[in-house]
Amino acid sequence: MTLPKIGFIGTGVMGKSMVGHLMTAGYSLMVYNRTKAKAQELLDRGAVWADTVADMAAQCNIVISIVGYPQDVEATYLGDAGLIANAQAGTILIDMTTSSPMLAKKLYKAGLEKGVKVLDAPVSGGDVGARQAKLSIMVGGDEATFKEALPVFECLGNNIVLQGAIGAGQHTKMCNQIAIAANMMGVCEAMAYAKKAGLDPEKVLISIATGAAASFSLSNLAPRMLAGDTAPGFYVKHFIKDMKIAIESAEEMGLMVPGLTLAKSLYEKLAAAGHENSGTQALFTLYMGQK
């Protein structure tokens, strides 16, 4: 059986690993990134460079995007030079960016008019999940299209759920980000408390990381906090973007999200202090009065 040709837009912290897994699985990959140098390692492995997203759309059976902001998604998909206008009928377009549920619906509608299939499939797991192919993938869209794309998703993650119609993946990711936001504050406060109390934070982690307080952030990001490692697995600036989308969506539904609102204000303070390109674990520096 001939495998579909896959295009991939966004070969950053997570995208590079994701493309690598697809190539290992035997897929032919065409890649595009605003900065070609960031894709060089993949090109050296045999991926083909696309000069434009329009070129990619015309040549690939499936195109995956994981870019920065909703405006980047809109520019990638819509317009005369976008994916939808240049894709062949039957092409599957999968946006894995954390973006707006309303935008996902807009893309889906535009795809229908062109005979192009669109899924929203944001992910969770950060750089670790991407490297280990253990991402949680939250999908919105038609069931038949989901089933077509499932073998591709299985190369990237191990928790893949069709949440519902288009936009449901993005709404699910908002639930994920809301939970993370409050949890990150708790992890930072716990580690700051341990230090101020004169405890060995590493020993504290041994005791609490597998108990009722267990979480991904506690197990994977607290050690980075304690080591002073602020390298991005997920950028502060992108987390702020996600929280903004979640707050706007909650307001539309008349839902209070006080924990999320507080977390967003702290992360905005962190970004203003020069950490917008740091990983989300850099919030710990704010609690410890560091710069």
| Number of C-beta neighbours around residue 253 at 10 A | 8
Q: How far is CA 288 from CA 255, 283, 285, in A?
A: 32, 9, 5
**Single-letter residue type at 277:** N
Report DSSP state, residue 5. Answer: P
Neighbouring-strand partners of residue 65 = 9, 95
Instruction: Check 16, 106, 117, 173 and give the catalytic one.
Output: 173
Residue 173: active-site member = yes
Tell me the CA end-to-end span of the chain in Å, nearest whole number: 55
CB 17, CB 73: distance < 8 Å: no
Q: Which residues of 10-44 are buried (b: 16+ CB within 10 A; e: fewer)?
A: bbbbbbbbbbbbbbeeebbbbbbbeeeebbeebee
In terms of C-beta distances under 8 Å and separation of at least 24 residues, what long-range contacts does 257-264 make, across chains too? 257/178, 259/178, 259/181, 259/182, 259/185, 260/177, 260/178, 260/181, 260/182, 262/185, 263/181, 263/182, 263/184, 263/185, 264/181, 264/240
Residue 103 sits at the vertex; the CA angle it makes with 216 and 94, to the nearest 5 degrees, is: 65
Helix ranges (H only) for 60-167 are 70-77, 83-86, 101-114, 126-132, 143-153
Q: Is 221 left (phi over 0), alpha (psi -120 to 50) or beta?
A: alpha
Label the pairing between strands 123-124 and 135-140: antiparallel
Catalytic residues: 173
